[in-house]
Amino acid sequence: MVSIKPLRKWLLPVGGAIAALLAGAVALAWVSPPAPALDLVEPVIIIGDGVSTPEGMAWVPAGVFKMGSDSKLAQANERPTHPVKLHGFWMDVTHVTNDQFAEFVRQTAYVTTAERKPDWETIRVQLPPGVPKPPDDVLVPGAMVFVGTHGPVDLADYSQWWRYVPGANWRHPQGPDSTIEGKGDHPVVQVSYEDAQAYATWAHKRLPSEAEWEYAARGGLEQATFVWGDELMPDGRLQANYWDTRQRTFPVVSPEAGGAAGTVPVKTFLPNGYGLQDMTGNAWQWVADWYGANYFAKQASAAGNTPIENPAGPAEAFDPFEAGVPVNAPKRVIRGGSFLCNESYCLSYRPSARRGTDPHNPMSHVGFRLVKDAAPPTAQLAALGVDAR
């Protein structure tokens, strides 16, 4: 791996935004009001055919659901639950893959955030006031990479297993010596929020709202702990790509511990009730909303028992719980967890888990999927005797 010691004193603070990915927030005191019974829509799987309906996308029907979680596993930023009402929409069955992103780049000659020289202005807003600009020769293209450790470490210091690696980008997720050759069906990673938005514009789609993402991820299961139900490993089988601490200690990646961790092909695991695959695990997913650590508490307080219709998130980011980062530093929500999440540290392969991260900070475990506003599959729903809401 390229030595980056001269870079670390300047660029590791940029990765400070990932602390919110990997650590729980300080508790927010709130008591949920009694919630009304919700009229749940029985899930059916309808996948677009590319003719009358969007290809490779699953229909997510309109409905009301309970957003967030009050379970013992929930972090403070997931609380309290509150009712949300959404319109119907189409969602990509899988993460956007390396092959799909490569086609976008081929057609547009797009250059991703990680392939450009870092913009000091986007870095500065993530740092305490008064931090001086580093020398220009330090600001080189690259991205944050999970490098792991050779043995057990104190999990309070994530800088032990994350590095800013020059030359890391979507084609070389772990650095210039790595490749995505043979991994065309893996989620594309090392893409920033801006990169995801650029792809969405090209694809005539959009990033989902945070509410749309959670509703779709739940697949019709009301308040289940995981997207597949309440049992972590039904019949003793993994249901998503996350760090299995039964096999190795996090974040150890020595050969003796099983080597490096990473993404797996999309569609490796079974779909949820709407036909969506890998909604948790494998790679975190950008969503459209600004991140507010206390947003759910505010929503619940304002709405009471009245469902909030098509919420689009707060007007700006707010996170007072990440040391060394201004409370209103730009952060967008990511959802779903990744191959790094595990029972001993992150536990974010749950549909209610949410984190905020620097939108200009591509990372080796963050990707995305998109949604589309298009006509419902009326004919298919009618054939199934389902109301095309």
Tell me whether the omega of the peptide bond preceding residue 320 falls within 30 degrees of 0, making it cis: no
Cα separations in angstroms, 181 against 98, 167, 175, 200, 242:
9, 16, 14, 24, 22
Cα separations in angstroms, 75 against 25, 100, 139:
7, 34, 35
> In this structure, what are the phi and psi dihedrals at residue 366, rounded to the nearest 5 degrees?
-125, 125
Radius of gyration for the chain, computed over Cα atoms and rounded to the nearest angstrom: 20
**What is the residue range of 224's domain?**
5-383
pLDDT at residue 389, rounded to an integer: 58
Q: How far is the C-alpha of 286 from the C-alpha of 338, rounded, in Å?
A: 12
Digits of tens for pLDDT over the chain (389 positions)? 333 333 333 333 334 433 333 333 323 333 334 444 455 557 899 999 999 999 999 999 999 999 999 999 999 999 999 999 999 999 999 999 999 999 999 999 999 999 999 999 999 999 999 999 999 999 999 999 999 998 999 998 888 999 999 999 999 999 999 999 999 999 999 999 999 999 999 999 999 999 999 999 999 999 999 999 999 999 989 999 999 888 888 999 866 555 568 999 999 999 999 999 999 999 999 999 999 999 999 999 988 889 999 999 999 999 999 989 999 999 999 999 999 999 888 899 999 999 999 999 999 999 999 999 999 999 888 888 776 65
Tell me whether the omega of the peptide bond preceding residue 80 falls within 30 degrees of 0, making it cis: yes
Structure tokens at 239: 């249901």
Structure tokens at 188: 């594309």
> In this structure, what are the phi and psi dihedrals at residue 211, rounded to the nearest 5 degrees?
-65, -45
Q: How far is the C-alpha of 173 from the C-alpha of 163, rounded, in Å?
A: 12
- Residue ranges of the alpha helices (H) in the chain? 5-11, 19-22, 98-108, 120-124, 193-203, 210-218, 295-303, 378-383
pLDDT at residue 255, rounded to an integer: 63
Q: Give yes or no for a contact between 114 and 140, defined as CB atoms under 8 angstroms apart.
A: no
Q: How far is the C-alpha of 233 from the C-alpha of 197, rounded, in Å?
A: 35
The amino acid present at 344, given as its one-letter code, is S
Name the E strands within 313-367.
Answer: 332-335, 354-357, 366-367
> Which residues, other chains included, contact 257 with Cβ-Cβ below 8 Å and sequence gap of 6+?
248, 249
* pTM: predicted TM-score of the whole model, two decimal places: 0.88
**Three-class secondary structure of residue 229 per DSSP:** strand
Q: Strands 308-309, 82-86: parallel, antiparallel or unpaired by DSSP?
A: parallel
In a domain, 131, yes or no: yes
Structure tokens at 286: 């950008």
pLDDT at residue 260, rounded to an integer: 65
In a domain, 144, yes or no: yes
Structure tokens at 296: 């759910």
Report DSSP state, residue 307.
Answer: P
The DSSP result for 127-171, as a single string, is S-TTPPPPPGGG--SEEEEE--BSS---TT-GGGTEEEEET-BTT
pLDDT tens digit string along 321-366?
A: 998 999 999 999 999 999 999 988 889 999 999 999 999 999 999 9
In a domain, 388, yes or no: no
In a domain, 389, yes or no: no
Domain of 177, CATH number, reads 3.90.1580.10
pLDDT at residue 382, rounded to an integer: 85
pLDDT at residue 9, rounded to an integer: 31
Give how many domains the chain has, as a whole number: 1
**Within 13 Å, how many C-alpha atoms sit on residue 167's CB side?**
10
Pick from 362, 222, 177, 176: nearest CA to 283: 362
pLDDT at residue 22, rounded to an integer: 30
Pick from 298, 286, 262: nearest CA to 145: 262
Residue reference for tokens 């979680």: 69
Q: How far is the C-alpha of 114 from the C-alpha of 169, rounded, in Å?
A: 5
Q: Give yes or no for a contact between 368 and 191, defined as CB atoms under 8 angstroms apart.
A: yes
Go through 322-336 and write b for each residue having 16 or more CB atoms within 10 A of its CB, e for each that does not: beebbeebbbbbbbb
Residue reference for tokens 């695991």: 269
pLDDT at residue 282, rounded to an integer: 97
Q: How far is the C-alpha of 46 from the C-alpha of 93, rounded, in Å?
A: 10
pLDDT at residue 305, rounded to an integer: 84
pLDDT at residue 177, rounded to an integer: 95
Structure tokens at 39: 């009229």
